[in-house]
């Protein structure tokens, strides 16, 4: 089934640990995005990539890094997790000029 695969689906992480959230798409979309969703705050952009080899910062990039080595994969890394990074993380991709296709999300709890 074409779409976006995110892994893991949920994770409990000790503060200070490093973690990578995985995102893979099979639609050959050039643009990919990472958003976090917090209750009452909607969806906020963390990082984005307009095409393989390029990345950009969104609204809330601090504490996160991304890479885009190829078209299909767009991993998000938390270098040293803090409790304020507890959230649901959504990866999305888009074809030029069209809306997003979202993954099912990763629910992350930092304790």
Cα(26)–Cα(99) distance, integer angstroms: 16
Taking CB under 8 A as the rule, does residue 97 contact another protein?
A: yes
Q: Is 45 in the site for another protein (CB under 8 A)?
A: yes
Smallest separation, CB 110 to another protein (Å): 20
> How many residues touch another protein (CB under 8 A)?
28
The span from the CA of 66 to the CA of 20, in Å, is 9
Contact status: 74 vs another protein (CB under 8 A)? no
What's the token pair of residue 57? Answer: 């910062």
By C-alpha distance, which of 4, 26, 24, 31 is closest to 96? 31
Q: Quick check: 101 binds another protein (CB under 8 A)?
A: yes
β-sheet bridge partners, residue 44: 36
Residues that bind another protein (CB under 8 A): 4, 31, 33, 35, 40-45, 48, 50, 56, 58-59, 90, 92, 94, 96-105
């Amino acid at each position: 089934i074409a779409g976006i695969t995110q892994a893991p689906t949920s994770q409990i992480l000790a503060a200070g640990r490093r973690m990578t959230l995985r995102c893979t798409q099979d639609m050959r979309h050039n643009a990919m995005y990472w958003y976090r969703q917090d209750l009452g705050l909607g969806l906020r952009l963390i990082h984005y990539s307009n095409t393989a080899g390029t990345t950009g910062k969104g609204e809330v990039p601090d504490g996160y890094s991304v890479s885009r080595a190829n078209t299909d994969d767009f991993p998000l890394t938390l270098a040293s997790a803090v409790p304020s990074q507890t959230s649901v993380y959504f990866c999305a991709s888009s074809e030029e000029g069209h809306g997003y296709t979202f993954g099912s999300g990763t629910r992350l709890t930092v304790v």
